[in-house]
Chain A
Amino acid sequence: MKIAVCLKQVPDTEAEIKWDIPSGTLKRDGMDSITNPFDEFALEEALLTRENYDGEIVAISMGPEKAADVLRNALALTVNSVQQISDPAFAGSDTYATAYVLAQALKKIGDVDVVFTGKQSTDGNTGVVSAELAAILGWSQLTYVAKVRSIDAAGKKIVVERAIEGGNEVVEAKLPAVVSVIKGINEPRLPNLMGIRKAAKVEIPKWNAGDLGVDTSKVGAAGSCTKVVEIAVPPPRGAGEILKGEIEDIANTLTDKLIDLKVIK
């Protein structure tokens, strides 16, 4: 089985965000970065799938030079190969452009049975790249997956549970499939020292727009139709009121105030 996993590098949640205000994009170079937390679940699911069914894993990441770090981390966790996708022309891509480039890479890799992605990134936060990727490729679109029940590469079939409103939907789908996973699907493992040492020495292979046959008029800030035009810090919530006094009185006041909102039916 050929398993692909999409990993995005994102600013560390603790890091100070640096914006390139005129272009509405992030200055990714000046920030501490990590693997998108949701993608750790995607990577772990790829590793578990290989353990359960055999196969090889290729990890891909689209991003600037330093996004190679997330791929090095994946190598330390023993993925079979990695592929960085990097070109100045890709900077500022919207979700469609990102999904289009990732789709080109998956086609070039060839014979992929299943692609794991995270549910969403913690920076752009849109949570739609996975579904767009599936739609572009015409592959099964399996989002919010909480459990992979079975994968039958020979029979070209996968059965998953999707955690949607009110419960889990059990879906059988054809392979190839793009599967976006939620937190809780597994417990991501940590790389060991030997893995880290080995990965440190590997040259990370890169593909650019030309290698992938990407139509550059469709990608990057210029080619994307979605543009971030304004960045603001949300207004602080109005100063709250601390209710003081005896617990009896506080409870009285609060229940009155909440009942007055006419929300409780």
Chain B
Amino acid sequence: MANDVWVYIEHKDGAVTPMSFELLGIGKTLADGLGSGVCAFVVGEKADDIAKEAFAYGASKVFAVEGAEYKGFRADAYSKAATSLLDKYKPAVALFRATSQGTDVAAASAALLGFGLCTDTIGLAVDGGKMKMTRAAFGGNYTVSVVNEKAVPQIATVRPKAFAMPEKDASKSGEVVKEAFSVAEADLNTKVLEFIQSATAVNLVEADIIVAGGRGVGNPEGFQLIKELADLLGGAVGASRAAVDSGWIAYEHQVGQTGKTVKPKIYIACGVSGAIQHLAGMRTSDCIVAINKDPDAPIFKAATFGIVGDYKQVLPKLIEKFKGKLGR
């Protein structure tokens, strides 16, 4: 149906995680508002297994383009295939996760269709039959609402974890529509040579719990304590720019305006003052804990729970208590 809401299902060489399906939840809400259905769309070597899961997470239909050229992710191949689907079926809305893959495909597809798009959306609502997208601008100092009046579909990338995961019901099924679309190898621009797994494998954006350190951590050894707590809680390590610039931790850990934007359920900031550019990257976290020895540090204004004190004393105590209570 022309009024449908489509959700792009990202995967890595065919592998998905539950998060790949997260937008089917908000997609369903939007479709209800538009009086239509939520569908998934997939580009990959094989789509059947992914489709099965998409139904379980609430998709009413799955559209797929399959082919050997889509084995690994390539921006041009995937965008051309995605665009062929969007152009043929003209859904009202197409949602992508604001990950590297989601953003690459969303941006290129929008451009191939000749439209702009809204990125890193944190609010989505249907208003008079049109979608209103809310996003942060200027390092989170402002939120702006964007409409995409003439675009078909209206394309948005959505910040991971901005909306609740849909319920899974493995008994659900539906129709898989396969479209033939192929791109000749000679017409493709890129080839992936290898993937170098990061030694620390930080995936801040997907993490439910982040323990972050700032300049107040003082030295690289201090980050061992941060990491100990993060590991204990099954979380990831974040950092302020000051800590990264001091060379205590790699840039891939940086949170903020010029680092990653994260929205974990728990964000524990240690020795971070709470500069506007840092807040830009984490202020939408569900629960923020601030540990800082300066009672006037701005981070306390953003914190759900604040502890005024030296992290070197506070963290070992927290670790001890968590170990006891969690039996670890």
Contacts and interface: CB of A to CB of B under 8 A. Distances in A.
B307 to A, nearest CB: 5
Contact of B106 (A11, A128, A141, A184): A128
A237 B302 contact: yes
Contact of B190 (A163, A171, A182): A171
Interface stretch (A46-54, A57-65, A77-85, A244-252): A244-252
Interface stretch (B26-34, B39-47, B57-65, B95-103): B95-103
Contact of A171 (B111, B191, B283, B313): B191
A67 B103 CA distance: 28
B18 to A, nearest CB: 13
A201 interface: no
Contacts of B265: 261, 263
B303 interface: yes
A17 B321 contact: no
A132 B107 contact: yes
Given A13-B277, A167-B201, A263 B266 contact: yes
Contact of B111 (A135, A234, A242): A135
A131 B104 contact: yes
Interface in B277-328: 277, 283, 286-290, 295, 300-309, 313-314, 317-318, 320-322, 325-326
Contacts of A259: 322, 325-326
Interface SS of chain A: helix, strand, loop or mixed? mixed
Contacts of B89: none
A167 B198 CA distance: 4
A132 B318 contact: no
Interface residues of A, number: 83
A164 to B, nearest CB: 4
Interface string A179-201: 00011100000000000000000
Interface stretch (B114-122, B172-180, B216-224): B114-122
B209 A264 contact: yes
B171 interface: no
B300 A242 contact: yes
A122 B257 contact: yes
Interface in B68-119: 75-76, 79, 99-101, 103-104, 106-112, 114-119
A144 B137 CA distance: 20
Interface string A105-144: 0000000000000000011111110011111100111111
B139 interface: yes
Interface in B243-265: 251-252, 254, 257-259, 265
29 contacts: A95-B117, A125-B135, A126-B119, A128-B107, A134-B108, A135-B107, A141-B108, A142-B190, A162-B100, A165-B100, A166-B201, A166-B203, A169-B195, A171-B193, A172-B193, A226-B151, A232-B142, A232-B144, A233-B141, A234-B142, A237-B301, A242-B300, A242-B305, A247-B309, A250-B314, A255-B322, A258-B287, A263-B266, A264-B234
In the A-B complex, the 9 residue pairs with the closest CB atoms: A226-B116, A94-B116, A131-B107, A128-B107, A230-B145, A132-B111, A251-B317, A135-B108, A135-B111
Interface of B: 75-76, 79, 99-101, 103-104, 106-112, 114-120, 132, 135-151, 189-198, 201-203, 205-206, 208-209, 233-234, 251-252, 254, 257-259, 265-266, 276-277, 283, 286-290, 295, 300-309, 313-314, 317-318, 320-322, 325-326
Given A226-B115, A232-B144, 12 more contacts: A13-B139, A96-B111, A122-B139, A127-B103, A128-B106, A132-B110, A135-B112, A234-B143, A247-B313, A254-B305, A259-B322, A261-B286
Interface of A: 11, 13, 17, 24, 37-38, 94-97, 99, 122-128, 131-136, 139-144, 159, 161-174, 177, 182-184, 218, 224-234, 236-238, 240-243, 247-248, 250-252, 254-259, 261, 263-265
